[in-house]
Chains A and B, each alone.
Chain A
């Protein structure tokens, strides 16, 4: 166990840093007023600018491409999972 102590120190350091930051956040009110925080990415004047949306054809093409990719990848992953389990049984 002691042989691997270095690893435990590292995880310990990471956890301590995280906990300290969390305590600081809680003390300085970082977790309050969360409804206002939702708007922070939007600049002060962004919402008043006109926007453009893509044509329906372009939207269909892009959505189709992304959906196709998701389906393709998920079927590959499912195949691997099934193969892995079958091979284990065999």
Chain B
């Protein structure tokens, strides 16, 4: 196994680009299926129910997860002023990670599923994922133990905590002590499943994405973080609040009222950790936005933070029962999912990738212009997804409240499904562009791109 400095992070980025392509193809297959349900003529490995969990897990773990893990491994070493404890162990964990994802996906396509959202992968894949998380944590932890900088920067807190919590929720959420089913029983299983489902976005994707933003924003702005103290307040409050609000996903089931009250009030309290991050980063970048528009990594991170604002305004609102009567179990939530998982964490993951990759390879990206095209495709695509799915969701919600039947509602939302599939093409294109650019940046000769931004000026820091 070739061991090189930052080789683990580089391969995590490459893996992410590959999974992104696969994930968008799965997404577009499902979206097409909803427009023309007979298209695949009952081919078993293309049915909606198999491709859907493949799409969600490919995106969460394969695309966003891999890029965030790669960036985190690079960042923790950088901010602790210490090389990664073991690149060899890093590569081993990378392969276990990728093979487990592949096993989980192939099994799903063959019809083997644990049947719980985001926890569909079968037991052997679960064990692999847990092992990979444990090894990555151990590697980061040892790096922290050997650190040359006594005080841990906020990103390292987020990364270490994210890894510990993800391991815990993944272990319990997949009920790995119960390999046959990967579940427990009855309503407690629903509560457990959403402790997990919520945790996987809130305690895996969110902390790692925030860690990346806390690293990249000050660097692109060339300015110290506005307040490290405030960033730690945000960190400790998210740890205290996030773990117990998962029940806001199942408010309309007969779970005990006290769980609902905790979930709803916790959802609203989430405004505190979210605002600490956004205010802190905004005050760091204020007056220096020109630097962000110019840096492709910074640009992705900035857009990701904009999506974060919207996700976290939407989140507490849709946790209110009065709103959920209209929004629950329809495309409104699908809009929120894409907003959170792609808009916020996926976009920041791409920002981390584009910012860090050239610093690993030691040469510029193969093409900043291609990355820019990808950026605009994804920005437009995300805005389109959000608008279309939210509108479709409101139509569904309204029909639901009016007591409309499903067969009368389906034609009403057909147009939104067609639009979703069409917008999906932007994502597919963007994913392929990204894969090509990243492969060429890693293996190819750097392009001698003509100066792209002729009008831009070099400035000194004092300006």
Residues of A within 8 A of B (CB): 1, 3-4, 6-7, 10-11, 13-15, 17-18, 21-22, 25, 28-43, 46-47, 50-55, 57-59, 62-63, 65-66, 69-70, 72-74, 76-77, 79-81, 83-85, 87-88
The closest CB in chain A to the CB of B151 belongs to A37
- The reply to whether B222 and A47 contact each other, CB–CB distance below 8 Å, is yes
**What's the minimum C-beta distance from B296 to chain A, rounded to whole angstroms?**
11
Cα distance A74–B317 when bound, in Å?
11
**What's the minimum C-beta distance from B382 to chain A, rounded to whole angstroms?**
8
- The reply to whether B219 and A42 contact each other, CB–CB distance below 8 Å, is yes
Residues of A within 8 A of B327 (CB): 80, 84
B394 proximal to A (CB < 8 A): yes
13 extra A-B contacts, CB within 8 A, seeds A4-B255, A54-B293, A55-B455: A17-B164, A18-B240, A22-B236, A37-B228, A39-B225, A42-B218, A51-B460, A58-B294, A58-B453, A59-B289, A70-B310, A81-B317, A87-B325
Cα distance A79–B395 when bound, in Å?
12
State the total of A-B contacts with C-beta under 8 angstroms: 195
Residues of A within 8 A of B295 (CB): 52
Question: What are the 4 tightest A-B residue pairs by CB atom distance, in nearest-first order?
Answer: A53-B290, A54-B293, A40-B153, A38-B224
- The reply to whether A29 and B150 contact each other, CB–CB distance below 8 Å, is yes
Residues of B within 8 A of A15 (CB): 240, 243
**What's the minimum C-beta distance from B462 to chain A, rounded to whole angstroms?**
11
- The reply to whether A31 and B232 contact each other, CB–CB distance below 8 Å, is yes
Residues of B within 8 A of A (CB): 78-79, 149-155, 161, 164-165, 168-169, 172, 184, 187-188, 191-192, 195, 214-219, 222, 224-229, 232, 236, 239-240, 243-244, 255-256, 259, 289-291, 293-295, 299, 302-303, 306, 309-310, 313-314, 317-318, 320, 322-323, 325-327, 332, 379, 383, 386-387, 390-391, 394, 398, 401, 453, 455-461
The closest CB in chain B to the CB of A48 belongs to B461
- The reply to whether A42 and B224 contact each other, CB–CB distance below 8 Å, is yes
- The reply to whether B459 and A53 contact each other, CB–CB distance below 8 Å, is yes
Residues of B within 8 A of A88 (CB): 322, 325
Cα distance A81–B322 when bound, in Å?
9
Cα distance A83–B327 when bound, in Å?
11
**What's the minimum C-beta distance from A52 to chain B, rounded to whole angstroms?**
5
The closest CB in chain B to the CB of A14 belongs to B243
Residues of B within 8 A of A84 (CB): 320, 322-323, 325-327
Cα distance A36–B376 when bound, in Å?
37
- The reply to whether B227 and A38 contact each other, CB–CB distance below 8 Å, is yes
Given A18-B240, A53-B456, check contact A6 B214 (CB 8 Å).
no
- The contact sample of 18 A-B pairs, CB cut-off 8 A, is A10-B192, A14-B244, A15-B240, A18-B161, A29-B151, A30-B152, A38-B228, A40-B149, A41-B79, A41-B153, A50-B459, A51-B458, A54-B290, A54-B456, A62-B299, A70-B310, A77-B317, A84-B327
Residues of A within 8 A of B455 (CB): 55, 57
- The reply to whether A41 and B225 contact each other, CB–CB distance below 8 Å, is yes
